[in-house]
Every structure is written in structure tokens, then in C-alpha cells.
């Protein structure tokens, strides 16, 4: 066991700042639909999301292990690598938030680690075992999100085809409380775990932990910080995802949340890091497409997809530059 150094303390602070940004800009995606359908007020939805995100972060460590040990070779990097990656996440996610664009902290995290790792140790630092899971996560969130939202919505429409609209709205107004809670929990079980893994990685690189492990204190600190970030809220992101992309009724919100949460939970149990933003967005698109393709506001979708695509090169580039600058200064 080593002692806490100034450098390690600074890097851990950056990890917590990135976790805060995760709760601030990414966690609102988990409650965007329940707010947009007016089943819950923004205040009540944020309280629920903060609590369920916190609980979800305690539900396993498979994703934390993938991020902490599987993306870059631990023995080839240092604290500068981790710190530079966190700077990339914080800068890009905050900039995108200013424009109300939902970014994926998952994509930002792996891109930042890759960029900083390349600057620190070169191409050999990247590990295929972890990147394979990242690619699987992209497929999960795209196809299972869209397909799940579409399928659940079609089943609900068929089952309730002879019921009045008001009755359907009342029924799914209640059910959406459950699906929104499930969605918030799943966000904590996957996204919350990613920064827990990075925090533990920093402790290993700083000599505090002899080998990679996830102490309960790390889970507690990171989950509390993410919960605080969520409680401060991200109305700009909620507006983009829940109000502007597709006009949702409670049964549509239920379909999107259930599809996305099931997809995320399956990935979490398999140790696959995926994007909550990506998953709920594609699920909402699937719900909209169940009515007609034109029900989806594709102009908004274009902006959201552009933010996803730009996340990889921009976060990677920022982290690479920061790591190189720190190396020069040192």
C-alpha cells in the first residue's frame, strides 16, 4: 500500500468531476421520457433518478472491470493517461451540453483512454478484449434499442387496440413509473460502473491498491457524486431527447424505457460498456417509427448522431494533446 500523492489526488478529483458530468449530462437521458409524457414532474423525476442511479451502481462490477483492465494495458500507462482522458470527457461533454446535445460518456471515456494511452505508450497499449466489448455495445444499443422499442410498441398497440385512449394513458401512466425507475437503475449499473472502474485504476497506478479491485468505498464515492450530478439536472438534454425527437405518449415512453433498460441490464451483466444515451435514443426512434417514419424528427436525430460520431475523435484528440503537453512540462 502506498500513500496518497498530490498527483494521484488531482487525478481522482478529475475522475469525480467526470462522474459528476456523467450524472449531469448523461443520466438525464434515463428520465427524459417520463418527463416528456408528463407522468412525473422534472423535480420528482430527478429525485427518483438520483436514488435509482445510486442503487444501480452497487449492482455489479463487471463493467468496471472491463473499463479498468480491458481498454488499455494497465502496465503501460500512468496517472497522466487517466487524468488526460478525464479532461477530454469534461471539456467535450460540457461543450455539447451548452448546445443541448446528449453525448455518450461511455464513448467519451474509451476514446479519451485511447487517445491518452496512444500519447503515453503508443498503439500497443490498446487491448482488443475490451474494445471488442465496446463494439458489441455499439451493436447492442443500436439494434436492440431500436428493435426493442419498435417491437414493444407494436405489441402494446395491438393488445390495447380496442381500449380508449384515456384508459391507455392512465394505465401506462402508472406503468411508466416502473419503467422509468428500471431505466435509471440500469444507467447506474452500466454508466456508473465505468467511472468506478477508472477510479480503481487510478488507485492502482498511484500505488494505493496492489492490484485492480473495486473497494466498496470507491462505489460509494462515485455513486454519490453521480447522484449529485443527476440531482442538479440536465433540462437541456431532457428537452432534446424527450420532447424534440419524437412526441411521446405514456405507452410510448414505457416502450422506449423498457426496451432500453432491458438492453442495458443485459450488457451490464456481461461486462459490456454501452451508451445509455445511444440506447434510449434509438429506442425512442423505434417507438416513433412504429407509427410512421415521419413521426421521428430526423433533423434532431441528425444532430444527436453527429454528436455521437464526433465524440470519439474529439475526446481522443483532446486527451492525446493534454497527455503530450503534460509529458513536455514534466
SS (H, E, C) the chain: CCCCCHHHHHHHHHHHHHHHHHHHHHHHHHCHHHHHCCCCCHHHHHHHHHHHHHHHCCCCCHHHHHHHHHCECHHHCCHHHHHHHHHHHHHHHHHHHHCCCCCCHHHHHHHHHHHHHHHHHCHHHECHHHHHHHHHHHHHHHHHHHHHHHHHHHHHHHHCCCCCHHHHHHHHHHHHHHHHHHHHHHHHHHHHHHHHHHHHHHHHHCCCCCCCCCCHHHHHHHHHHHHHHHHHCCHHHHHHHHHHCCCCCHHHHHHHHHHHHHHHHHHHHCCCCCCHHHHHHHHHHHHHHHHCHHHCCHHHHHHHHHHHHHHHHHHHHHHHHHHHHHHHHC
Identify the domain containing residue 110 by its residue range. Answer: 6-329
99 located within any domain: yes
16 located within any domain: yes
**330 residues of the chain, pLDDT tens digit each:** 556 688 999 999 999 999 888 777 766 666 777 777 777 777 787 788 778 888 888 888 899 999 999 999 988 899 999 999 999 999 988 887 777 666 777 888 999 999 999 999 899 999 998 899 998 998 888 889 999 999 999 999 999 988 888 888 889 988 988 998 898 899 889 888 889 999 999 999 999 999 898 898 999 998 888 878 777 755 556 655 555 555 678 888 899 999 999 999 999 999 999 888 788 888 988 888 887 665 566 666 676 677 778 888 999 999 999 999 998 887
Whole-prediction pTM: 0.84
269 located within any domain: yes
1 located within any domain: no
The number of domains in the chain is 1
Amino acid at each position: 500500500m502506498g500513500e496518497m500523492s498530490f498527483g494521484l489526488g488531482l487525478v481522482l478529483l478529475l475522475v469525480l468531476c467526470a462522474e459528476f458530468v456523467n450524472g449531469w449530462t448523461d443520466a438525464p437521458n434515463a428520465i427524459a421520457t417520463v418527463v416528456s409524457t408528463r407522468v412525473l414532474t422534472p423535480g420528482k423525476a430527478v429525485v427518483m433518478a438520483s436514488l435509482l442511479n445510486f442503487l444501480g451502481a452497487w449492482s455489479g462490477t463487471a463493467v468496471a472491470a472491463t473499463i479498468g483492465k480491458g481498454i488499455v494495458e494497465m502496465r503501460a500507462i500512468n496517472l497522466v493517461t487517466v487524468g488526460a482522458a478525464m479532461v477530454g470527457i469534461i471539456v467535450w461533454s460540457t461543450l455539447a451540453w451548452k448546445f443541448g446535445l446528449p453525448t455518450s460518456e461511455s464513448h467519451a471515456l474509451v476514446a479519451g483512454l485511447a487517445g491518452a494511452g496512444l500519447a503515453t505508450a503508443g498503439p500497443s497499449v490498446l487491448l482488443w478484449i475490451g474494445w471488442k466489448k465496446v463494439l458489441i455495445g455499439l451493436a447492442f444499443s443500436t439494434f436492440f434499442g431500436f428493435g426493442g422499442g419498435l417491437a414493444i410498441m407494436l405489441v402494446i398497440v395491438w393488445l390495447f387496440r380496442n381500449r380508449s385512449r384515456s384508459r391507455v394513458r392512465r394505465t401506462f401512466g402508472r406503468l411508466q413509473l416502473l419503467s422509468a425507475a428500471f431505466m435509471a437503475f440500469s444507467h447506474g449499473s452500466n454508466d456508473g460502473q465505468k467511472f468506478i472502474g477508472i477510479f480503481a485504476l487510478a488507485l492502482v497506478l498511484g500505488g494505493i491498491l496492489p492490484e485492480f479491485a473495486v473497494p466498496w468505498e470507491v462505489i460509494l464515492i462515485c455513486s454519490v457524486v453521480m447522484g449529485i450530478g443527476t440531482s442538479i439536472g440536465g433540462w437541456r438534454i431532457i428537452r432534446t431527447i424527450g420532447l424534440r425527437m419524437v412526441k411521446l405518449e405514456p405507452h410510448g415512453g414505457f416502450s422506449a424505457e423498457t426496451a432500453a433498460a432491458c438492453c442495458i441490464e443485459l450488457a451490464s451483466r456481461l461486462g459490456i460498456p454501452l451508451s445509455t444515451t445511444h440506447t434510449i435514443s434509438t429506442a425512442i426512434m423505434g417507438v416513433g417509427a412504429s407509427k410512421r417514419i415521419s413521426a421521428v424528427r430526423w433533423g434532431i436525430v441528425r444532430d444527436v448522431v453527429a454528436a455521437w460520431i464526433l465524440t470519439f475523435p474529439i475526446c481522443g484528440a483532446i486527451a492525446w494533446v493534454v497527455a503530450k503537453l503534460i509529458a513536455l512540462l514534466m
